[in-house]
Amino acid sequence: MRLDRLIEILNNSESINGWKLEETNQKSYELYYIRRDLEMNRAKNIHNIRLTVYKDFDIDGVEYKGSSVTKLHPTMTEEEIIQAINNAAYASQFAKVLYYPLVKPSEEKLEVIESNFKEKPIEEYLSAIVEAIFKVDVYEKGSINSTEIFITKLKTRLVNSCGIDYSSEKYLGTVEFITNWKEEKEEIELFQHIDFGDMDSEKLTQEVKEMLEMSRARAISKSTPALGKHRVILSGESVKQMMEYYYNQSATGYVYEKFSTAKIGESIQGDEIKGDKLSITLKPCLSGSIHSAVFDNDGVILKEVNIIKDGIIKSLWGNQRYSYYLDLKPTGVIRNMEVMCGKKSIKELKKDPYLEVVSFSSFQLDDFTGYFGGEIRLGWYYDGNEIIPVSGGSISGNIKDKHGEMYLSSEKISINEYLGPKHMVINDVTVAGN
Amino acid sequence: MKLAMTSKYLTQQKNVVKELVDRLSKKFEFVSVLGVDTNGKNFRVNRSGTSIEDSMWTERGFLVRVYQNEMYSEYAFNKISVEKLDTIEKEIILKTKVSENVKRSPYVKLIKYPLLEEEEVVGSFIKNKDIETEKLDHQLIVDKLNSIKDNAFKKSDLLVNVIVGFEQVNISKIYISNRKNLEQSYTWGNAVLAPIARKGQENKYFYEGFSSLNPMELLDQLESNYEEVVNKSLALLDAEKVTPGVYDIICEPDITGLIAHEAFGHGVEMDMFVKNRAKAVEYIEKPVASELVTMHDGAASAEDVSSYAFDDEGVLAQDTVVIDRGILKTGISDVISALRLNKKPSGNGKRQSYHRKAYSRMTNTFFDGGKDKLEDMIKSIEFGYLITGMMSGMEDPKNWGIQCVAMMGEEIKDGKLTGKYVSPVIMTGYVPDLLKSISMMSEKVELFGTGVCGKGHKELVKASDGGPYIKARVRLG
């Protein structure tokens, strides 16, 4: 069914007060390699529609908004679609929350998500990605074990009953690869997953090269010693995850649902900050991020917003509903963040003994409790005399106990939706080892 | 009475799909089409209201696999009709070709696979035909969830939020190839309960999940378990941090399942054998666990969320004994990996969605029960912990490192539970060390199918895991 006919049906439906349609068209190509052998190629062409229907009602003088979300398949007949709308309308009377208004159209001109993937058909980038990955697979004792490559062109259209009709187009690249290395002990492996919204062959090559070099280090690593409480340096992905804690704590949804006690004007790093003070800005579009967007799925047009400045919460971010509840102007849901770097270089931060963890089995940070930790796949332990690669054991702690004194490196890193310090130093982190 | 497939849509499209297979079979040596029509509803209540949405698993579409130039290619789409067959056929021929640029790359070559010789099977597998999603009694479900939430809140002023959820999913699939014509429908349900407690700035929560092939019974399970879950959330407010070290522990069945799944399940997925990513290859027919341990995986090995009749590559469900009394016997496989290894596929080819790739994946993974009583297991420990509350885990099939995170451990001292808790609990170590340290196992086996299983950091599929209570010795941090 064409979208205009669907809109006509929705506008004529008497069982609902409002609606929202999110239409996506996805075209993808995928390659799967084992070593350098192409195991399988895949392609897809998929069209999806997600419908939200709304129903406003009043109970004992309190206004409520009911809503229900349903997926409409492109093969549905008109009869099936009308049935699906009626079913969703029926469900919406039971799914009630306090009233909030739907987003109305803005007169602002929508910006365009920039990407150099626009320059030619996406399938033509596959060979460039393959070359960027395999050109550094040149080592005698180590190699790329397996690789998966995905490239997608995604078109999105958002239409609602208030008159919003926005469209955007973006590109999503993903590479997942495993590297192996064999020295005297058993062969080891490391895993890497990279998302990118721009074609940057040089960066991709560098990522693969770094992973191969880290594999070599893991192959000669020793067991992580039981260090008890120790000074720990986090790098890359785990730093990004630590910053996501502050991102989530600053969300109107978290505050309203009481998962967070954040308040504008208060410190998010506790009462006494001895280390670096955090400054975080949300950016709708960030070079290379697959999460860049010019509007969110409610239809809020996204603008840059500074949520934390020098450790103080300047603004909460959130969607239409929760922002309305907290009487705040909705920022919309912005997925990219830029974190201000610290003043000290990593060289300065590494003067005292440390355990630097550069790869975890799976670093976890619990947004509700603040606990973080993970098993160490590769770390560098400096005891004051020498630096040795270590593996095994784990680190654990609670960000709320540590963020009064944490230090950020002046070196910057860009990881998909994150742009900010590459390293973070935290004192007195529990290190379990042998 | 013969039950019909739940999806009227797939029933209507079967002839069109057969026509497509026939047409493509003139161009390709092997052709198969997987058709999926899944619908489900997710109900969730918390302090701020109720939401009802289509389940994240809801989808409808098709996946074509073809064999050409000695390799397999796939194409996914979700628009099909008799009128569109010419266009679809042309699109499949075009999109399944490996581009010349990729072929010419000096860095890679094409793998040569043998042609898949399927056995001729025709079958219709309809089980637990449950309430159609759209006929679910929304009022009843929402009232029940809200009542549990409200009752939970009454238990303590320290609760700041209570999340209660219920999900029912109806799955219908067809698999049609040159030699197979299969259809199946089945239903599963999940329910969750997560009270969040706060004291000062300290947030703590305990999470309990329930799964069943008879979803409506889950509402009663929520009702009868919410008090215990609330109490655990509150107990965590006073929990201390575990002192890192090696301890005797008893795992509740959900943690036993987490260990079975993460420690060993991922390591015997045979696509890992093909990639030389699995240490397990070196240990076939060798001891990897205590003699008490027998481990199964298979869609036919238990009745839970991953109990299907055929997998996403048209292979009938099986019950695979992975570890038999401590000895590693075999792995679990998808079709392509089995072809490469010259093995028979085990019915473990699963996809996150009709448009994703099939990998070797776990289904229902569990340890058989033993002969011990829980009270004897507790009595046998001088100092250790009873571990419960599955949070997360991560596999390391190549080097057999293990990372399992649990929400809490209750202290055991001089053979008695003390009521003191530690949280969270990170278990790390070397898989065979952990499995060989298992010294006691209780009788009853319980399965848990609330979570999803990823491969690396993506490809989420439903899987269940579990086992009995086990006593083991591990490093906690």
Q: A60-94, pLDDT tens digit by residue?
A: 999 999 999 999 999 999 999 999 999 999 999 99
Asked if B404 and B255 touch (Cβ cutoff 8 Å), the reply is: yes
Measure in Å the smallest separation between the Cα of A34 and chain B Cα atoms: 6
Asked if B464 and B446 touch (Cβ cutoff 8 Å), the reply is: no
Beta strand residue intervals within A247-370, DSSP E:
280-282, 305-309, 312-313, 337-339, 354-360, 364-365
CB contact under 8 A, B107 and A40: no
Q: From the candidates A75, A189, A205, which should be mutated to test the interface with B, based on the most B CB atoms within 10 A?
A: A75
Amino acid at A198: D
**pLDDT, one tens digit for every residue, chain B (477 residues):** 456 788 999 999 999 999 999 999 999 999 999 999 999 999 999 999 999 999 999 999 999 999 998 999 999 999 999 999 999 999 999 999 988 888 888 887 888 999 999 999 999 898 765 566 667 889 999 999 999 999 999 999 999 999 999 999 999 999 999 999 999 999 999 999 999 999 988 899 999 999 999 899 999 999 999 999 999 999 999 999 899 899 999 999 999 999 999 878 999 999 999 999 999 999 999 999 999 999 999 999 999 999 999 999 999 999 999 999 999 999 999 999 999 999 999 999 999 999 999 999 999 999 999 999 999 999 999 999 999 998 888 778 888 888 788 999 999 999 999 999 999 998 888 889 999 999 999 999 999 999 899 998 899 999 999 999 999 999 998
Distance CA B65, CA B335 (A): 12
- Residues sharing a CB contact under 8 Å with residue B146, sequence separation 6 or more, in sequence order: B45, B50, B164
Closest CB from B108, B245, B401 relative to A134: B108
pLDDT class of A46 with cuts at 50, 70, 90: very high
What pLDDT, in 10s, does the model give residues A366-413?
998 999 999 899 999 999 999 999 998 889 999 999 999 999 999 999
CA distances from A350 to A153, A221, A230, A401, B315 (A): 43, 19, 13, 22, 55
CB contact under 8 A, A375 and B160: no
Contact status of B32 with chain A (Cβ, < 8 Å): no
Distance CA B80, CA B371 (A): 55
A207: helix, coil or strand?
helix
DSSP 8-state secondary structure symbol assigned to residue A110? P
CB contact under 8 A, A176 and B76: no
pLDDT of residue A198: 95
Mapping DSSP onto H, E and C, the string for A238-277 reads HHHHHHHHHHHHCEHHHHHCCCCCCCCCCECCCCCCCCCC
Contact status of A195 with chain B (Cβ, < 8 Å): no
Closest listed residue to residue B318, CA positions, set B344, B351, B291? B344
Q: Provide the sign of the torsion angle of the four alpha carbons B211, B212, B216, B222, taken in this order.
A: negative
Do strands B464-467 and B364-367 pair parallel, antiparallel, or not at all (unpaired)? parallel
Containing B149, the helix (H) or strand (E) segment is: helix B138-154
CA atoms within 13 A on the CB side of A35: 10
Q: Any bridge partners for residue B39, and if so which?
A: B170
Q: Lowest mean pLDDT: which of A209-213, A281-285, A363-367, B460-464?
A: A363-367
pLDDT class of A3 with cuts at 50, 70, 90: confident
Q: From the candidates B52, B65, B140, which should be mutated to test the interface with A, based on the most A CB atoms within 10 A?
A: B52
- Residues sharing a CB contact under 8 Å with residue A213, sequence separation 6 or more, in sequence order: none
Amino acid at A299: G
Closest listed residue to residue B257, CA positions, set B477, B470, B443? B470
CA B414 distance to own-chain centroid: 37
Residue found under tokens 């090269």: A209
Closest CB from B50, B61, B202 relative to A46: B61
Containing B191, the helix (H) or strand (E) segment is: strand B180-199
Beta strand residue intervals within A5-133, DSSP E:
18-34, 37-59, 62-72, 96-98
Distance CA B272, CA B396 (A): 11
pLDDT of residue A172: 97
Angle between helices B217-236 and B138-154 (to 10 degrees): 20
Contact status of B135 with chain A (Cβ, < 8 Å): no
Q: What does the angle CA B154 – CA B151 – CA A261 come to, to the nearest 5 degrees?
A: 55
pLDDT of residue B136: 81
What pLDDT, in 10s, does the model give residues A283-324?
999 999 999 999 999 999 999 999 999 999 999 999 999 999
Residue found under tokens 């992905």: A237
Distance CA B217, CA B221 (A): 7
Asked if B470 and B437 touch (Cβ cutoff 8 Å), the reply is: no
Average pLDDT, chain A: 95
pLDDT of residue B392: 84
Dihedral, A11, A16, A19, A23 alpha carbons, nearest 10: -80
pLDDT of residue A66: 96
Contact status of A70 with chain B (Cβ, < 8 Å): yes
Beta strand residue intervals within B349-477, DSSP E:
349-350, 359-360, 364-367, 383-394, 401-413, 416-422, 425-430, 440-441, 446-448, 452-455, 458-462, 464-467, 470-476
pTM (2 d.p.) = 0.95
Distance CA A377, CA A379 (A): 7
Asked if B195 and B229 touch (Cβ cutoff 8 Å), the reply is: yes
- Residues sharing a CB contact under 8 Å with residue B459, sequence separation 6 or more, in sequence order: B352, B356, B357, B359, B361
Closest listed residue to residue A89, CA positions, set A72, A73, A66? A66
Measure in Å the smallest separation between the Cα of B309 and chain A Cα atoms: 25
Containing A235, the helix (H) or strand (E) segment is: strand A228-235
CB contact under 8 A, B244 and A432: yes
Distance CA A276, CA B20 (A): 63
Amino acid at A174: T
* Torsions phi, psi for B174 (to 5 deg): -125, 150
Angle between helices A126-134 and A201-219 (to 10 degrees): 30
- A392 contacts in chain B (CB < 8 Å): 401, 428
Distance CA A392, CA A378 (A): 8
- A68 contacts in chain B (CB < 8 Å): 52-53
pLDDT of residue B129: 57
What would you measure as the largest C-alpha separation in chain B, in angstroms?
Answer: 75
Amino acid at A76: M
pLDDT of residue B131: 61
pLDDT of residue B361: 98
Contact status of B221 with chain A (Cβ, < 8 Å): no
pLDDT of residue B95: 95
pLDDT of residue B477: 80
A112: helix, coil or strand?
coil
Closest CB from A36, A41, A75 relative to B73: A41
